[in-house]
Chains A and B, each alone.
Chain A
């Protein structure tokens, strides 16, 4: 073999090696970049969809998370709070209570305070929510009903969020249709109000949440709500609840990477920020009515009472004050024709 032939082989091997190395390296980087772009697009799409549901109130099915594995967490220390994922974070700028899964049902719901309505989006995968009303009292059924009203209503959509009752080893899926969704459940559960329920001991598989409502939450596991103490027990934590959205946030997050406690803390943050701002706006608005000569004395008095409550809400929006202001709004302002219904 000539020296030149040997040179050609060695030269060829070196050059192809260098080119191959470069191409593999580049294609690796490019593939990773594309994966990162995909993950970012999925997150962006989720936030956009949730915002759309929040703004319009039209529920949707979201399947974006089936395209890539993402690990999500909530960062409630930021203002506004952010959703962190593998590559960074997004600020939804609207209240979203969610867990992530391949298929999600996204819905909107609200807390009515009369003069202000707190809207929020909820995203959940196919889930069975099982209530164990182990404490036979009107508070238990009130808590159950008001909690279900704030949970997603997937009627006519996929994936389904279904509801049932449990006592001991018995599970009551009482609806006529196969899927016992929010509205249907609320129609049927009343016939069980007179029954005596005991703590649920049945075992469940798949995606479910077991919510015990009891005056004694020791050893109940999962989520337990004590309507007498107004506390939620989750794992080893005790969280006080002011409204039913506190319970809902814990139920949505239970058994997930974004935990019930994370969502509970997130709820406090977003709710307080919006409640304070709403109270400040409505306080100034009430004052403008009090000072306006065109407003009747009856309405001025009602606005004056409302203003004093709103001023307190604007610094510390407690449930007690919110209920007081709601009552005053409906009884004094709406009934006397001083203001309009939202």
Chain B
């Protein structure tokens, strides 16, 4: 009789322990799920921020009077002048930040590379025009803008 009572008590304690363990596992699983979700979201946000920055720099290049004659029309003499500056990337970096590059290429083969490095990047390519100041003609080309990291 006493042995049966003891066994019953042990059985009930085990039930309790297993139930508690089960609840704790669910809570820990929930915490891991939420944390994992947040980490994934942060990683996605980081990637989105990188793409947004590349888009911003692209739009900046297409509209800035430092490089263009009018929106989406680059002035070749301005591009040449910018590339001939001794610290052009640092200078522009003081305005739009660093770790980016831009490449403008016409279908006639003329190319302007700015701040290119041998690193991983996210980039966008869009059509753009290049105004040839000395011949007073516009050429069709592309603008490739990317950010490193």
Contacts and interface: CB of A to CB of B under 8 A. Distances in A.
Interface of A: 4, 7-8, 11-12, 15, 19, 22-23, 26, 30, 33, 44, 48, 51, 55, 79-80, 91, 93-94, 116-117, 119, 270, 273-274, 276-278, 280-285, 288-289, 292, 294-295, 340, 342
Contact of B20 (A15, A22, A274, A281): A15
B124 interface: no
A282 B80 CA distance: 10
Contacts of A289: 77
B87 to A, nearest CB: 10
Interface in B59-109: 59-60, 63, 65-66, 69-70, 77-78, 80-82, 84-85, 91-97
Contacts, number: 86
Interface of B: 9, 12-13, 16, 20, 23-24, 27, 31, 34, 38, 49, 52, 56, 59-60, 63, 65-66, 69-70, 77-78, 80-82, 84-85, 91-97, 134
A281 B82 contact: yes
A12 B12 CA distance: 13
Instruction: Identify the interface centre among B80, B84, B92, B95: most chain A CB within 10 Å of its CB.
Output: B95
A187 to B, nearest CB: 29
A80 B65 contact: no
A8 B16 contact: yes
Contacts of B38: 33
B12 A4 contact: yes
B85 A340 contact: no
Given A285-B77, A289-B77, 9 more contacts: A23-B27, A80-B95, A273-B95, A281-B81, A282-B81, A284-B85, A288-B77, A292-B134, A294-B134
B92 A277 contact: yes
Contacts of B91: 276-277, 280
A240 to B, nearest CB: 23
